[in-house]
Amino acid sequence: MRLNDGPKFVMSTYYGATPVLNITDPDIIKDVMVKDFNVFPNRHSFFDVDSFWSKNIFSLEDNDWRRVRSIVTPVLSTTRVRQLCPIVSQCVRQLVDDLSTGARSDSHVIDVSQYYKKYVIDSILRCFFRIKLDASDKISDEFVGNYEKFLNYNKWKLLSLEIFDGFFAKLFAIKSPIDESIKEFCVKLCKELINEYKTSGMANLKERDQYFIHTLINLSIDNNNEERHTVLKNKYLTEEEVIENSAIFLNAGYESSSNILLSTTYELARNPGVQQKLYEEVVGIINEDRDGNDITDYYEALPKLKYMDAVIMEVIRLYITSEPLKRLSNSRYTFRKIGLTIDKGTRVEIPTQAINTCDEYFPDATQFIPERFMDREANHQYPNLPFGSGPRGCLGKVWAVMQLKLCLVGVIRRYRFASCDIMADNIEWKLNLFGNRNKQMFVKIAERLSSEADFVIV
């Protein structure tokens, strides 16, 4: 979907009996997401039709959401993510080593998607769940198999939930579009980790604070202790909330990160000038900032990689399509800029894909131009919202940026990419629950000469 020429502020429609307002004006978006958040605190989500998926940070509403958000936010803070940097760096080392097989082959052509997916799975499982992939990748295969089911949801059920919202969905007993086996897999995995945590003595170890799942478990309460549950409810999570939030972070983080890395490599292969500029920034800043062999030095250097930020932002703008950002009004509301009044219960949507491909906001919108994000002051924040905005913005932003940038630092310092004969002219995407995905991406890869880089990889 693209916006028509000229300024378009709003467009109204209906999903079944539910009024929906699409907004594209940056100032109005800011009002909804930030300034008047008290009127639009809740998302519209189909997860609430299944009790299992209704207790995560994505689906919860009002005071339940505020409680869980206040507990979970510190778990993904900058300080906590920095502690995970050495673990992610180990995953980057493994990725760099794995890529050498393709780089030293006769054709130098690889399907880079498989490498990135393994890296993303590895880093998520290690940091969030303290699970290290074995040599046979059995855990990886099991996770990928269940994740494929998670993405390949029942589209007819999802459409029905969009049309028959709320009361009607329950009246017609419309179930969640997500396969039931996914719930069973997530519950089994998390309960095994919880039991291991409680029986192994790990609760008394300082090491526990590194891992997402262990921190959540440490913030949970015994569901069978009613008195303790009543006293501590506002400061702790239930076991169900631990499992559900772990499941949603596990599934949501995998697809988006692997697609960003895939799309970035695609554009670097097609744009050698951009690739060289990025390489020079990485080598210059990393080498200048590095003090000895302390692996955590890389984390301090990551914010200085401004051109890498611009490349990632432009890739997200062009390729990482997600559902519109959705908010529900909890009272009658008048938009200050245009004087339009909406009733309580109106769904407000921000069509991010339409905005990202609009020449009004992004001149030559179909072209890959990272430089457009170099001057942050000249670019209004709200036309581009890769991590949402306001109190309901993405909790995992700091983690995701670290995971992406560490990976690109390691790969770009060691390898160069180029287009090949079987490389697609355009990325062919398939729509899924978290946006778009591509199954394969062939590029040519070669190791950089020793004169181009030292071979100390993150």
Write the pLDDT tens digit of every residue in 185-199: 778 888 887 787 777
Domain shared by 265 and 364, yes or no: no
* pLDDT number for residue 42: 93
Domain presence at residue 347 = yes
* pLDDT number for residue 444: 93
Domain presence at residue 307 = yes
Domain presence at residue 265 = yes
Domain shared by 222 and 333, yes or no: no
Burial 145-164 (b: 16+ CB within 10 A, else e): ebbeebbebeeebbebbbeb
Domain shared by 144 and 249, yes or no: yes
Domain shared by 309 and 418, yes or no: yes
Which domain covers residue 330, as residue numbers? 1-35+323-383
Name residue 167's amino acid: F
25 near 355, Cβ under 8 Å? no
The residue out of 366, 383, 400 marking a domain boundary is 383
Domain shared by 56 and 23, yes or no: no
Closest residue by Cα to residue 391 from 88, 18, 39, 102: 39
The DSSP line for 388-435 is B-GGGS-TTHHHHHHHHHHHHHHHHHHEEEE--TTS-SS---EEETTE
Closest residue by Cα to residue 399 from 113, 125, 84: 84
Domain shared by 1 and 105, yes or no: no
Domain shared by 199 and 62, yes or no: yes
Q: Is 407 among the annotated ligand-binding positions?
A: no
* pLDDT number for residue 33: 94
Domain shared by 189 and 256, yes or no: yes
130 near 197, Cβ under 8 Å? no
CATH number at residue 337: 3.30.43.20
Domain shared by 346 and 244, yes or no: no
Pairwise CA distance, residues 203 & 214, whole Å: 8
Domain shared by 396 and 331, yes or no: no
Domain presence at residue 43 = yes
The residue out of 331, 357, 383 marking a domain boundary is 383
Pairwise CA distance, residues 434 & 157, whole Å: 16
389 near 408, Cβ under 8 Å? no
257 near 283, Cβ under 8 Å? no
44 near 325, Cβ under 8 Å? no
Q: How many domains does the chain have?
A: 2
Pairwise CA distance, residues 324 & 349, whole Å: 6
**12, 20, 46, 165 from 17: Cα distances, Å:** 13, 9, 16, 8
CB atoms within 10 A of CB 200: 10
* pLDDT number for residue 329: 94
Domain presence at residue 257 = yes
Compute the 3-state secondary structure of the chain and give helix, strand, coil in percent, each to the nearest 5. Answer: 55, 10, 35
The residue out of 383, 399, 430 marking a domain boundary is 383
Domain shared by 63 and 113, yes or no: yes
* pLDDT lower than 50: segments of the chain: 1-7, 223-224, 227-228, 231, 291-296, 451, 453-458
Domain shared by 142 and 165, yes or no: yes
CATH number at residue 396: 1.10.630.10
